[in-house]
Structure formats: C-alpha cells, structure tokens
Chains A and B, each alone.
Chain A
Amino acid sequence: MPTSLILAVLVITIALAGLVALRPGLTIARGGKILAFLAFFIFPVFAGLLGLENHMERAKQTSFCLSCHIMGQYGQSLYVDDASYIPAAHFQNGRVPRDQACYTCHTDYSMFGGFKAKFRGLHHIYAQYVTGPQLPVKLYHPYNNRECLHCHEGSRSFEQGVMHTADPQTMADIKSNKLSCTSSGCHDTIHNVKQLDHVKYWKPVQ
C-alpha cells in the first residue's frame, strides 16, 4: 500500500482520536461510544498494522541498508567493474532486484527466514548505536549455500557446470552445504571492501 495512503489513514485516525479526546462528552450517546471504540481501538490498531507492514517492506530496500554509514563500502562494491565480484555481478546483471539487492542475498530462505532477517536487523541497530560496531563487519554465521541455491538450483549453468560436475561428490556436498559456494578457489570474491580503492567501477547508463 502506498505510504501516502497509510499517512492519510493515520491522519484520519489522529483526527478522530483528537475529537473524542477534546469532546469526551460525545461518548454519552450510543453513537459516541461507537465512535470512541473506533477512534481508540479499531482505527489505531488498523493504522498501526498498515504502518508496520510499510516499515517491513521498506526494510528490504537497498537504500535502507545503505542508510547506515558503515554499509557504504558494501554498497560501493556493487558497482565494481569485475565479474569475479559476486555481489557486483548479481547486482549489475539484474540477477537480484537492484532495489532489494542486500535483502535478496542476505535473508534466510527458510521458514521464518524473513522474520530472522528482520531480527538480525534489530541486532544491527543495537550493535550500531549501543555496543558500537565491531570492525571488520562479519556475518553472524557462515554464508549458507541455501541462499544461493534458492535461485541457482535447477539452472543449467549450475547443474551442468564443469567444476560442479567434475566429481559426483561435489554436487552433493554443495547441495548439503558441506562445501561452501564461497570456498577458496570457487566463488570467493565477495564484497572485498579492502580492495575498493584499487578497482574500476561500472557507471550505469542513465
């Protein structure tokens, strides 16, 4: 739902709540009681849920993740002009939606994965503003192949890739997360923020 519509609902609810607060005598009549119940319970809950849903959706946006200064270099790495940089290759070639690039790769594709991702987001805020961030930024857990396979499993380039099929055990290990996709020698160039001063950058055509 558009933010403007949610704001309109919130403003109407504020007006109703304000009206009953300023004129509590209205609640003497039956109609006033109903108005108070709508203004003090039904509408605030409804408006709050709409706002919460809006915040949850916005939390998926790349611009939202990059609004924290500490994430700036990770956003910059999406524009590296080098196909070996996995996030950059995905971002630049539209393999992930550009406006939800961070979330698409860093959510959990499991039951309650979205909830876990949001909870981690709250932990990020705690780390940023309470304990202070620990540099360099690291993932809480090793990157799970499940997140890669959510899109790549079944695709020709993955299932019939030369390295993936060189040994029958390799594919089984990849799919069971025993052999990480980001293992050394495989797809091991990720954001690589330490090298950002020594790379070329892609400029999107406007």
Chain B
Amino acid sequence: MMLTQTPLNSRLRLSGSLIALGLLVQALSLLWNHPLSFIAFIGLGGLLVAGGIVLYLFTLVTIPSAGTEDINGNAKAQTPQT
C-alpha cells in the first residue's frame, strides 16, 4: 500500500523510530550488569522513548487524521496531498 508522505505519517515514523531505538537501548542495557547500564537505560533509552511518546501524543492533538472512518469504523481512502 503506497501512501502519500503526510505530516501525520512522517511524525508517526519519527516517533515510532525514536521509541523502537529507545527500547532497543533499554533492552541492551538489561544485558549488562554495571552502574553505567542504568544510566544508559534512563539517560539514553528513557529519553528516546519519552521523546517518541511525547511526539506521538503531540501529533494526535495537533494534526487531524488524513483518513477518516465511516460510522462502522471502516477506513475511507486517504485524501491526496497537494
């Protein structure tokens, strides 16, 4: 499915990437038993995840969805961007 690169999509991509990267850092930190692993968990992983979540929530409240749904929740076609 090819979609137009809307602001919503690009922000979702960015927030998803931040969250996935942050979670990856957190997962790796769990494999290392050292005080610095805790710093990596909070300072790097936690910050990336928090940034991704904040961006996602911000996107929800600032950018209206390009696609809409009918009353039954079925997706309608996305409006092409000009």
Chain A residues positioned under 8 Å from B57 (CB to CB): 41
- Does B65 contact A28, Cβ atoms closer than 8 Å? yes
Interface majority SS (helix, strand, loop, mixed), chain B? helix
Most central of B20, B33, B66, B76 by chain A CB within 10 Å: B20
User: How near does chain B come to A145, taking the closest CB pair, in angstroms?
Assistant: 28
- Does B9 contact A25, Cβ atoms closer than 8 Å? yes
Chain B residues positioned under 8 Å from A31 (CB to CB): 73
- Does B38 contact A59, Cβ atoms closer than 8 Å? yes
A17, B36: Cα distance in complex, Å: 26
Q: What per-residue 1/0 map shows which CB atoms of B1-27 lie under 8 Å from chain A?
A: 101000011001101110110111011
Given A45-B53, A55-B41: A10 in contact with B74 (beta carbons within 8 A): no
A25, B58: Cα distance in complex, Å: 18
Chain A residues positioned under 8 Å from B39 (CB to CB): 125
- Does B27 contact A11, Cβ atoms closer than 8 Å? yes
Stretch from A61-69, A75-83, A132-140 contacting the other chain = A61-69
A7, B20: Cα distance in complex, Å: 13
Q: What per-residue 1/0 map shows which CB atoms of A141-159 lie under 8 Å from chain B?
A: 0000000000000000000
- Does A25 contact B16, Cβ atoms closer than 8 Å? no
Chain A residues positioned under 8 Å from B73 (CB to CB): 29-31
Stretch from A46-54, A87-95, A168-176, A177-185 contacting the other chain = A46-54
Within 8 A of B (CB), among A25-43: 25, 27-32, 36, 39-41
Interface size grouping (class) on chain B: 35 or more
Q: How many residues of A contact B (CB 8 A)?
A: 45
- Please name the residue on chain B nearest to A31 by beta carbon: B73
Chain B residues positioned under 8 Å from A67 (CB to CB): 33-35
Chain A residues positioned under 8 Å from B13 (CB to CB): 21-22, 24
A111, B38: Cα distance in complex, Å: 23
Flag whether A14 is at the interface (Cβ < 8 A): yes
Chosen A-B contacts, 5 in total, with CB atoms closer than 8 Å, are A7-B30, A30-B69, A31-B73, A40-B15, A40-B16
